[in-house]
Structure 1
Amino acid sequence: MENYTVDEYALCTRFKSKRKKKRLVKEDFEKQLIQLRKLEVELWKKRKDLPLVPLEIPYQKGWQRNFKLRDDIARSNEAPFYRELLEKINTWQFSPEKSFKRKKKRKRRNVYVEKIQTVKEFSEWEWRSPKLELTEKEKMHFYKRERWCSNFKRYKIHYVFNEPWRYVLRVSPYMITHTKMVDSDLESEIQLLDNYIVNHNLRNKINRLIHGSSYKWSYYEKENPKEISPIKNKSLHALYQQYADEMIENHGK
């Protein structure tokens, strides 16, 4: 009678080899991580879809600045046209100071200069997009302009409004009248899931499975609790080995 090894005997039978068992356990573990990610995204979406609740006492949080139609233009016959156009090209800025000034360094000194605000300009891609809301009559009030782009190191085309004098800036208090509804049960689930992922250092592993690489986002750049508390000092390998032993034991049964 010939002698066979365990692996050779497994190939001739319906039993799984030791290597295949480890591979199946690893695949199952990765599927569990993907399910954790799906659950996390679902919980985030539920929190995002929570409605706004009006505040009993609104409060001011800084100032806001946007454009309005000039008084003499508002009294003219063309007011409806330019008012409708303004709804499509208006811009907003927010600042804690009413002066809307920002700090800038000049000759080794910090000076305050006013922020520049203009109506919306359209890139060449936006101008050719079928989703552009401008009518043909409104497009006639824009001109083509080339501007140097320091990010792409080349000139880029923009379409600029040719009559900005028809609008003036308006500064008004920025009032907070609503707040996001807080669901304590939902926040508890999110925090519980986040604690599990962070404590076992699974974030990079999940990112590699989902995105193909481990992203170093500032949102995830937190101090690892397992490095703080020796009680939580369980490495990913130890967690995986424990999970693998349980799965092999279950397959054996």
Structure 2
Amino acid sequence: MDTHQWNCRIRSARQKKRIVKTDRDKQLIKLQKRREELYQQQMSLPMVPLQQPYQRGWKRLFVLRDDVKRSASAQFYEALLPKINTIQFHYDKTFKKKKRRKKRYGYEIKQQLLRDFSTHSWKVNRVALTDEEKTCFTQVEIFDIKTKCNEIRYVLTEPWRYVLKIAPHMVTHVKMKDLDLERELGYIETHIDVNHLGPRINLLSYGRSYRWKNRFVERTKYHNRFKKLSKYAGKEAYLASEG
């Protein structure tokens, strides 16, 4: 008699292994979702003011130059500053870092520049640059050492209008802590680290890894010359794209 006709069919050894593996993967997905929920709850906790603020190192940021403040365009450049300003923190007021020179360590001042924009950031425009503010930027081509390729960047044409200022970094607020939330989150993190479940969770949640530098570049095998042509385009348009 065929086992497929039984009310309760007997599973093979391979099917049993598959059921165990599928159930384990479902548990890992559930564990990852719970971890993300806890992270969101931890990030949504409010900031609590300190009764006694304290200084924690120094911070360096850009401010408007004194002569530009007295000019007629001071209000325009003051509104542009929060969108391109950068802040660095350091334990020392000199903002020096170690650099090795001929088998000896020396010190040099850390470089700090105004924010520039990549081609993607320029198109998305999350900082809400106005058309008038976009005219203050210049398109330049640079060679990125990390990606080892040329990139188009949009940099400020007149950076001399801003100067660096060093100020004490005062801590006035701290994040509220939830002991129950941190205890459960710590238990999940320990369970994942001890049992080496990170790679499997990453595969189930985000798929296989990819090269970050090709994120905005279409892969060669997916290139299609006719993709951008309208479906109502004539025969001449298709012949021109082939050439």
TM-score tier by shorter-chain length is 0.7 to 0.9
Shift of 1:90: 1.2
> 3-state DSSP class of the match of 2:205?
helix
Partner of 1:136: 131
- Please tell me the residue identity of whatever aligns with 1:18: R
1:63 aligned to 52, 58, 62, which one? 58
Structure 1 residue aligned with 2:117: 122
* Match in the other structure for 1:31: 26
Quote the offset at 1:64 in angstroms.
0.5
* Partners of 2:61 and 2:164 within 8 A in 1: yes
Residues 202, 91 of structure 1: CA spacing in aligned structure 2 closer, same or farther, 3 A cutoff? closer
Cα shift at 1:201: 4.6
2:87 aligned to which of 64, 73, 92: 92
TM-superposition CA deviations, 1:56-87 (whole Å, max 9, x none): 11111111011111112112222111111112
Most deviating of 203-212 and 37-46:
203-212
* Structure 2: tracts of 5 or more residues without a match: 210-243
1:81 is matched with which residue?
76
Closer/same/farther in 2, CA of residues 132 and 109 from structure 1, 3 Å limit: same
Q: Deviations over 1:101-137 (max 9, x none)?
A: 1111112111111111121112233233354522222
CA offset digits 1:217-252 (Å, max 9, x no partner): xxxxxxxxxxxxxxxxxxxxxxxxxxxxxxxxxxxx
**Number of the residue aligned with 2:10:** 17
Q: CA deviation at 1:210?
A: 2.8
Task: Give the secondary structure class of the aligned counterpart of 2:93.
Answer: coil
Matches within 5 A, 1:1-253: 10-19=3-12, 20-131=15-126, 133-212=128-207
1: CA distance, partners of 2:206 / 2:165? 44
Contact 2:83–2:127 (Cα < 8 Å) also in 1? no
| Counterpart residue type for residue 173 of structure 1 | P
Report the Cα offset of residue 213 of structure 1: 5.5
Identity of aligned residues (%): 44
Q: 1:136-168 CA distances to partner (integer Å, 9 max, x unpaired)?
A: 222222222222222333332222212222111
After TM superposition, the structure 1 stretch with the greater mean CA deviation from structure 2, 85-94 or 28-37, is 28-37
Which piece of structure 1 moves more, 58-67 or 158-167? Answer: 158-167
Count of aligned positions: 207
TM-score, normalised with respect to structure 1: 0.73
- In structure 2, how many angstroms separate the alpha carbons of the residues matched to 1:127 and 1:80? 23
- In the other structure, the counterpart of 2:241 is none
Distance in structure 2 (CA, Å) of the matches to 1:128 and 1:27: 42
The answer on whether the counterparts of 2:61 and 2:86 sit within 8 Å (CA) in structure 1 is: yes
Distance, in Å, in 2 between the alignment partners of 1:14 and 1:94 is: 70
CA shift in 2, pair 1:25/1:164, >3 Å: closer
Is the 8 Å Cα contact of residues 53 and 170 (structure 2) preserved in structure 1?
yes
Residue 199 of structure 1 and its aligned partner are, at CA, apart by: 4.6
Deviation at 1:54, TM superposition (A): 1.0
* Cα distance change, pair 14–92 in 1 and its aligned pair in 2 (3 A): same
